[in-house]
Chains A and B, each alone.
Chain A
Amino acid sequence: DVKVTQSSRYLVKRTGEKVFLECVQDMDHENMFWYRQDPGLGLRLIYFSYDVKMKEKGDIPEGYSVSREKKERFSLILESASTNQTSMYLCASTPRPLTYEQYFGPGTRLTVT
């Protein structure tokens, strides 16, 4: 079974803090994704990575950066957290090519106060 894990289920941070969200998958998948999910807006792609050290911006990259130093790990970084970044963050992975379904982690509910 594919397993995608995320570092925290719930996280509370203060405005201006630097926040790290980590995602690890154990199936040697090439592609990894970070989404945020908000009511009425659905899943929106922040960044994705198709290989180690490779990354591409998604639809809403502003205020976020990512790091992929190892194949199994994809980190999302909020450089200076703001209240409008309060959301559910979901990590996903899939093997190449992108015709396969995505496997999601359990999600991190981030609250920025």
Chain B
Amino acid sequence: QKEVEQNSGPLSVPEGAIASLNCTYSDRGSQSFFWYRQYSGKSPELIMSIYSNGDKEDGRFTAQLNKASQYVSLLIRDSQPSDSATYLCAVEGARSGTYKYIFGTGTRLKVLA
């Protein structure tokens, strides 16, 4: 089992719809969770961070965390063609006493105009 798992996609949604991206993780000790957006050929940029169970909203983006079920999700409301990118889930976790970030392989989102 991968430490952080994401569906690779592509996830295709029409413009204006809600895009739902999911991520599961294996380390129950993880405390910090991040969503990054990465356009083709560019470096990742932070979209959201979430640290406690529940929802966190920022504009059109909502991150959801459920530590008991070990999943974190990202909802994008009113999806725009400019949201088309790969979304990376990252989890901060302790392995062998050293804290590191663990990234999923990303979900490619396509927003169709």
Among A33, A58, A100, A104, contact of B43 (Cβ-Cβ < 8 Å): A104
Give residues in A with beta carbon < 8 Å to B. Answer: 33, 40-43, 45, 48, 56, 58, 90, 97-107
- The secondary-structure label for the interface of chain A is loop
Nearest residue (CB) in B for A99 is B32
Query: Count of chain B residues with Cβ under 8 Å from any Cβ of A?
Result: 22
Chain B 32-83 interface residues, beta-carbon cutoff 8 Å to A:
32, 34, 42-46, 49, 51
- Chain B residues at the A interface, C-beta cutoff of 8 Å: 8, 31-32, 34, 42-46, 49, 51, 88, 90, 92, 98-101, 103-106
Q: How far is the CB of B106 from chain A (nearest CB, A)?
A: 6
* B42-A42 in contact (CB<8A): no
What's the Cα separation between A102 and B34 when bound, in Å? 9
The answer to whether A43 touches B103, judged by C-beta atoms less than 8 angstroms apart, is yes
Residues on A with beta carbons closer than 8 Å to the beta carbon of B106: 42
Q: Is the CB of A41 within 8 A of B43?
A: no
Q: Complex: how many Å from CA A4 to CA B16? A: 34
CA distance A33 to B46 in the complex (A): 16
Jot down 19 A-B pairs with beta carbons below 8 A, ordered by A. A40-B8, A40-B105, A43-B44, A43-B88, A45-B100, A48-B100, A56-B98, A98-B92, A98-B100, A98-B101, A99-B92, A101-B34, A101-B49, A102-B34, A102-B101, A104-B43, A105-B43, A107-B42, A107-B43
Q: In the bound complex, what is the Cα–Cα distance between A106 and B100 (angstroms)?
A: 21
The CA-CA distance from A100 to B49 in the complex, in Å, is 8
Interface centre among A42, A58, A107 (most CB of B within 10 A): A42
Assess whether A101 is in contact with B46, with CB atoms less than 8 Å apart. Answer: yes
Q: Which residues of B contact A106 (CB under 8 A)?
A: 42-43
* Whole-angstrom CA separation of A5 from B9 in the bound complex: 31
